[in-house]
Amino acid sequence: MGKPTGFKEFDRETEPYRDAHERLVDFKEIYTPHNNEHLTTQGARCMDCGVPFCQSDDGCPIHNLIPEWNDLVYRGRWRDALDRLHKTNNFPEFTGRVCPAPCEGSCVLGITNPPVTIKNIENSIIDRGFAEGWVEAQPPEKRTGKSVAVVGSGPSGLAAAAQLNRAGHKVTVYERADRIGGLLMYGIPNMKLDKQVVERRIGLMRDEGIEFQVNADVGNNVDIQQLIDDNDALLLAIGATEARDLPIPNREGPGVHMAMEFLTLNTKSLLDSNHEDGNYISAKDKDVIVIGGGDTGTDCIGTSMRHGCKSLVNFELLPKPPAERAPNNPWPLYPRIYRVDYGHAEVAAKFGEDPRVYSIMSQEFVRDADGKLLGIKTIDVNDKLEPIPGTEKTWNADLIFLSMGFLRPEHYINDSLGLDLDERGNFSADKASFRTSLEKVYAAADCRRGQDLVVRAINEGREAAREIDRDLMGSTQLP
């Protein structure tokens, strides 16, 4: 694949983000325009490795045909590359922007050299596809007469809807928010995923015959039993939206917010009025602390910086990751190493240093007599996460955002159904069939398996659609 000696001739070079100082003044995407010549060279680095671990279970959860489209880009066959990309991925414009690229961690070249820039190449293929007009609506040639309701319009629900519609079923997607997209719309900020990119794909899906219902809160203003009765199958793809809280003293009161509350209100206000309505939590001129790392924590950092916060600190409970893989983190597992994401780089550019503080545990929120947030008390911890006496410290803060992951799906949708739950509170559904304990009801992705990546959600949506189609029709042609 690629140029036989390309991996020896060319160094890894990722496409750069926009300058940190420049991008901090807007919510436009952080990415720079694609350079086709550069990408052709990077595609040439893909080895004829024999066993492409990049598309294995440890690499790409949707098993993208990565070596094939790397080679096609190297050879300038962009349209063919797009066709190969769409064979396994309904939404490469999403994953090419927000996926952490476990495929690159499993790249065989990465054993001894920096891996191929797979994520950049994927994103460039789909962006060129849209620019050239190659991506068009493809409604099914005939309908089966079967109908399926999909609850949740995040990446899993959308992927399932796209596949079921492709099989010829009538699909309606129900979303409780006022816009379609779920996590893609309100959970990921504009600078990582512009909402026009999401709405462009939704428009194509509408043209293909999929129906979307917004402000449809199934379990509240939409009767879920009625949906089951009116359809041949119902798929729950509602995500794991119950966030992990921080139950320490003085938690209740103003100034402490869940990360998703902050991010959702920010994006909605941005889309509704360019922030002119004021219906968001502003970090302008505030001392901000983000508790928890990961992508969501970074998004809280980047959003606070764009508001114009006065200072920003990011607490991480775990120790600082190593620069290189640790012995217990071998290839082809995802490398748990020190990384500087876009938000960290922006803080360093403006304030002079990385915002992260490692091995630190929160002990108590500090408030005045009127309940106003003043800060937070912490203590350092050792590698076993045990407190270290004498390391107590008080930090000033006007706003504190909690970004410590998600626990399980919200259960009110299940109040009238009584679906079986697993030990973690997720909807219990068979991994092979995605069937729940109730006939005609299926569950996929985060609400079934727990919080995970967008790309895994797409994979589960596709697999659930295949099994639903098999149950409805007796066999399936879906991949």
Alpha helices in 395-453 (DSSP H): 446-449
Q: Which residues pair with 213 in a beta bridge?
A: 174
Mean pLDDT score across all residues of the chain: 97
Q: How confident is the model over 449-472, as a mean pLDDT?
A: 97
Q: Are residues 386 and 425 in the same domain?
A: no
Look at residue 27 and tell me if it is in a domain.
yes
Q: Are residues 286 and 394 in the same domain?
A: yes
Q: How confident is the model over 62-74, as a mean pLDDT?
A: 95
Q: What percent of the chain has pLDDT over 90?
A: 98
Domain count, the chain: 3
| Residue 437: partners with Cβ closer than 8 Å, 6 or more residues away | 419, 420, 428
Look at residue 136 and tell me if it is in a domain.
no
Note the pLDDT tens digit of each residue in 208-264. 999 999 999 999 999 999 999 999 999 999 999 999 999 999 999 999 999 999 999
User: Which pLDDT does position 436 carry in this prediction?
Assistant: 98
Residue with tokens 């089951």: 228
Tell me the backbone φ, ψ of residue 413, rounded to 5 degrees: -65, -20
Q: Are residues 255 and 374 in the same domain?
A: yes
Q: Which residues pair with 395 in a beta bridge?
A: 376
Q: Are residues 253 and 394 in the same domain?
A: yes
Query: Which tokens go with 127?
Result: 């962006």
Q: Are residues 368 and 432 in the same domain?
A: no
Q: Are residues 155 and 258 in the same domain?
A: no
Look at residue 139 and tell me if it is in a domain.
no
Cβ–Cβ under 8 Å, residues 212 and 161: no
Look at residue 1 and tell me if it is in a domain.
no
Note the pLDDT tens digit of each residue in 33-65. 999 999 999 999 999 898 999 999 889 999 999
User: Which pLDDT does position 477 carry in this prediction?
Assistant: 96
For 242-283, the DSSP string reads EE-----TT-SSTTEEEHHHHHHHHHHHHHHHTTTT--S---
Q: Are residues 230 and 250 in the same domain?
A: no
Q: Are residues 95 and 11 in the same domain?
A: yes
Q: How confident is the model over 182-209, as a mean pLDDT?
A: 98
Q: Are residues 341 and 385 in the same domain?
A: yes
Residue 310 belongs to domain with CATH number: 3.50.50.60
Q: Are residues 285 and 167 in the same domain?
A: no
Look at residue 137 and tell me if it is in a domain.
no
Q: Are residues 28 and 78 in the same domain?
A: yes
Look at residue 478 and tell me if it is in a domain.
no
Note the pLDDT tens digit of each residue in 115-133. 999 999 999 999 999 999 9
User: Which pLDDT does position 1 carry in this prediction?
Assistant: 65
Look at residue 464 and tell me if it is in a domain.
yes
Look at residue 208 and tell me if it is in a domain.
yes
Domain limits at 378?
245-404
Q: Are residues 257 and 360 in the same domain?
A: yes
Note the pLDDT tens digit of each residue in 323-382. 999 999 999 999 999 999 999 999 999 999 999 999 999 999 999 999 999 999 999 999
Q: How confident is the model over 194-206, as a mean pLDDT?
A: 98
> Which of 353, 386, 404 is the endpoint of a domain?
404
User: Which pLDDT does position 110 carry in this prediction?
Assistant: 94
